[in-house]
Amino acid sequence: MSKKCQVVDQIVDMQQIARRGGSLTGRHDIADLTLLHDRLADRQGSVAYRLQPQFRRIELADGSKNLLCIEVQMQAAVTLMCQRTLQPFAHELQVHSSVVLVADDEQAAGLPDACEPMLADARAVDVMLLLAEELLLSLPLAPVAPQTEPVAVTLGSADATGIGHAENPFAALDGLIGGRPDARQHSDSDD
């Protein structure tokens, strides 16, 4: 039977929780996850999470090792800025990921592609940082509010095919040299 722990401190010994077969559940305000602040329209909302640490045998480049993996499940409501309308909108996030705790960059590089590494000591994992990083990875690169229409952009004038053509920026130069296609040749031959 799984034991549940409530996070009081943000630095947690995940190794001990995994050995006891426990999990970590909780809820934090989005305002507490400072890593996200630049990507959000405001700091309202909260994130509910469950972290299930467990040891797994993972094949590395230099052989297999028993590493601590954290199964992350989160639900959050955040406010993003729509890139089409430049208006804030509510965005629901459902995150399900598996994070492997690694000791150094070399060990992270040796992980299979399916594994997401986190550089951390298994006895001192910063829960707030883990939550913020996983939420950050799940945010859309260019947020667009649902039900918004694409913005029509007209570049130049359209011909019979409907394809827009921009004016030639060198047309004014043609008028300056008198519209002579051989003007460059004459100046070169005068030398």
Q: How confident is the model at residue 37 (pLDDT cuts 50, 70, 90)?
A: very high
Buried b (16+ CB within 10 A) or exposed e, 136-159: eebeeeebebeeeeeeeeeeeeee
The amino acid at 163: I
The reported pTM is 0.70
HSE-CB at 66 with a 13 A cutoff on CA atoms is: 5
Over residues 47-88, the pLDDT tens digits come to 999 999 999 998 877 777 889 999 999 999 999 999 999 999
- Alpha-carbon torsion angle 54, 59, 65, 70, nearest 10: -20
Q: Measured between alpha carbons, how far is 164 from 14 in angstroms, rounded to an integer?
A: 59
Q: Measured between alpha carbons, how far is 26 from 143 in angstroms, rounded to an integer?
A: 27
DSSP assignment letter at 111: S
Q: Where are the domains of the chain?
A: 3-138, 157-189
Over residues 90-134, the pLDDT tens digits come to 999 999 999 999 888 888 888 888 788 999 888 899 999 999 999
